[in-house]
Structure 1
Amino acid sequence: MIERLLQHRPRVLFALAALCLAAVIGALLAQHVGGVRPCPWCVLQRGVFLLIAAVAALGGLAAVAAQSAQATVVRVAAVPLIVLALAGLVAATYQHEVAAESASCAMTAADKILTALDLEMRWPEVFMVTADCREAAAYRFLGLGYEIWSGLLFALIGAVGLSLALRRPAPETK
């Protein structure tokens, strides 16, 4: 089944975009309905998921439009997906291993990026930081911290991106 899905590369890109949007929607529901307060690292990961969704959707659209060069377009789109997935995995790992032990996330890389991009002011419903890292580390979903779920999803995206980038085009059948 996975083999069959990977033959339809634009669908894989659209599925990745949908998965990332679902992750952000889940985080927003947890925040605004469930009372889970995000730290700068949580919010930064939301931004990375949104970037991955945009790249994947644009790559899927470009691949559909470029029928004859579809495999090449998907490979090109996979490169930024891999880089963004790695960036997200680093952020999730840093949040879990380092930031969660700190009472303050102020002036960490995540806080500096969010401040430089002015995301809290532009789109506070999505990017407003309302907790410190230690407080955010206490939240759990199905027994695991949110940053663990986030890291697992980034790892999955990276693996799929690698598969798309390295996979040889299927031979044409006549």
Structure 2
Amino acid sequence: MTTNRILHVMAVLCVAAVAVALVSQHVFDMRPCAWCVLQRLVFLAIAAVCWLGVLAGRVAPGLRRFAGLLAALLGAGGMVAAWYQYSVAAQRFSCDMTFADRFMVASGLDAGVPWLFGIFASCLDARVELLGVEYALWGMGLFALLTVMALMAAARRSGRRR
């Protein structure tokens, strides 16, 4: 698989993950917590980095590798966020004043784009399962897969066809 294809598949997976989260929220009334919406932001950042890497790689092929490295860092950050949500935040009644809450509020995204980044539940209330597995674990698994794919993209030599 070429570097471009890896980056493109990663971006599509990220957008699909956010789409599933939005359907869960708006169709099935599963309200997100601060850690949920922070992970949405990380997924969208990975998608943007990947697609920018594909575009910029046409001019400077080395930028594809850089995009892979940056996406791997974001993926690792997403795994940490998902792990924290699952193991710490979901055990507490409130996400208030945690890093995710402070970051999302300070960014203005929760108020500016509430249909995507609005915080509507506590961490304890946001513990939701899909096919018997908590959303946070699905997110962690997807972040792990994306990190591996990103490292594969970063490790590939920058050639004309990659």
Give the TM-score band, short-chain normalised.
over 0.9
C-alpha separation between the residues in 2 aligned to 1:58 and 1:82? 15
- 1:94 aligns with 84
Asked whether the equivalents of residues 65 and 158 of structure 2 are also in contact (C-alpha less than 8 Å), the reply is: no
2:161 pairs with 1:167: no
Asked whether the equivalents of residues 3 and 156 of structure 2 are also in contact (C-alpha less than 8 Å), the reply is: no
Q: 1:35 aligns with which of 11, 16, 29?
A: 29
CA distance 1:168–1:126, shift in 2 (3 Å): same
2:67 pairs with 1:73: no
C-alpha separation between the residues in 1 aligned to 2:21 and 2:160? 41
- 1:112 aligns with 102
2:148 pairs with 1:153: no
Q: Which runs of 5+ in 1 are unaligned?
A: none
Q: Greater CA radius of gyration, 1 or 2?
A: 1
Once the two structures are TM-superposed, the CA of residue 43 in structure 1 deviates from its matched residue by: 0.6
C-alpha separation between the residues in 2 aligned to 1:35 and 1:85? 27
C-alpha separation between the residues in 2 aligned to 1:170 and 1:120? 41
Q: Secondary structure at the match of 2:97?
A: coil
C-alpha separation between the residues in 2 aligned to 1:104 and 1:81? 30
Asked whether the equivalents of residues 92 and 151 of structure 1 are also in contact (C-alpha less than 8 Å), the reply is: yes
Q: Give the share of equivalent positions with the same residue, in percent.
A: 44
Asked whether the equivalents of residues 17 and 52 of structure 1 are also in contact (C-alpha less than 8 Å), the reply is: yes
Q: 1:46 aligns with which of 7, 26, 40?
A: 40
Asked whether the equivalents of residues 10 and 61 of structure 1 are also in contact (C-alpha less than 8 Å), the reply is: no
Q: Secondary structure at the match of 2:10?
A: helix
- Pick 1 or 2: higher relative contact order, CA cutoff 8 A, min separation 6: 2
C-alpha separation between the residues in 1 aligned to 2:5 and 2:156? 15
- 1:22 aligns with 16
Q: How many residues align?
A: 161
Asked whether the equivalents of residues 86 and 136 of structure 2 are also in contact (C-alpha less than 8 Å), the reply is: yes
The aligned amino acid for 1:145 is E
TM-score by length of 1: 0.88
Higher helix share: 1
Q: Which runs of 5+ in 2 are unaligned?
A: none
The aligned amino acid for 2:20 is G
Q: How big is the alpha-carbon RMSD for the aligned residues of Structure 1 and Structure 2?
A: 1.6
2:7 pairs with 1:9: no
C-alpha separation between the residues in 2 aligned to 1:11 and 1:161? 11
